[in-house]
Amino acid sequence: MHTPTFQTPPPSTTFTRLSYPAPHVLLVTLSRPRQLNCINGAGNQELHDVWSWMDAEPSLRVGIVTGEGRAFCAEWDQMQSSRSQSKPRTLSFGGLSRRRGKKPVIAAVNGIAHGGGCEMIANCDIVLASPSAVFALPEVKRGVVAIAGALPRLARAIGRMRAMEMALTGRNVGAEEAKAWGLCNAVCQKDGDGLAVEGGVVQLAVRWAAEIGKNSPDSVVVSKEGVELGWEGIGVEEGSQKLIDGLWKKMDGGENMMEGIRAFVEKRNARWVDSKL
């Protein structure tokens, strides 16, 4: 486990555990296993604060979110589910479902991802799944609606028909089917007994996050923003120009850009500095 030095202290947490498995990587573990990692209002605020801190902390470059036990996040908390949905949530579910963050977040889906859990992964930047992962939007079975951002995002990510299938039937979608649909990037391998190998989905996510963490932190931030502009439905030329006029101008000619060019010419690994974007 990596021991980082922060410019700002991490927020205190009650419902989650924070750890640092590799340089520049934050691992957030939902830690309510008896409740299948259901998140209440206080938990949503806590996670919102964690992701805001990650974006502001220069030493961190990528986050991972996973669950403790057999669930990633099974549903919303009973207290929250009993409340009227007449007013939309002001905070995104798990601080993620409506997040437009600066730094990428990888979902390491270790098990059940229902309701709010599925809304969270629909807006993560990369989704990795264990063989036992199950995705679903069961809200229609409960007489409510997935209003925390998943519906329009799923339509863009997996297509209208598949999004309709998930939203209108509420059925479970297994890991391999989710991968075929484009709902997740990869599924952990299994051994001969059908068990996940290579340390499981969290270790797979750590490896992916470490690869991201080795790259220029400025380039990662600006590249993520470029993809987000397309995700939000802006035209190609409009999105490209907005990126050039915005974050690109801030990194153009900067220390990390110059270091990347020097390292390439000198045939060595780049020595990045923390992003100032």
Reported as a single tens digit per residue, the pLDDT across 165-196 is: 999 999 999 999 999 999 999 999 864 444 44
Q: Which residue is it, tokens 């952990």?
A: 188
In the chain, where the domains are located? 16-213, 217-265
Reported as a single tens digit per residue, the pLDDT across 115-174 is: 999 999 999 999 999 999 999 999 998 888 888 889 999 999 999 999 999 999 999 999
Reported as a single tens digit per residue, the pLDDT across 69-83 is: 999 998 754 434 444
Residue-level pLDDT at 165: 97
Q: Which helix (H) or strand (E) holds 27?
A: strand 25-30
pTM score, whole prediction: 0.87
Reported as a single tens digit per residue, the pLDDT across 206-246 is: 999 999 999 999 999 999 999 998 887 777 677 667 778 88
Whole-angstrom distance, CA of residue 142 vs CA of residue 163: 18
Could you please state the CATH topology (level 3) that the domain comprising 16-213 is classified under. Answer: 2-enoyl-CoA Hydratase; Chain A, domain 1 (3.90.226)
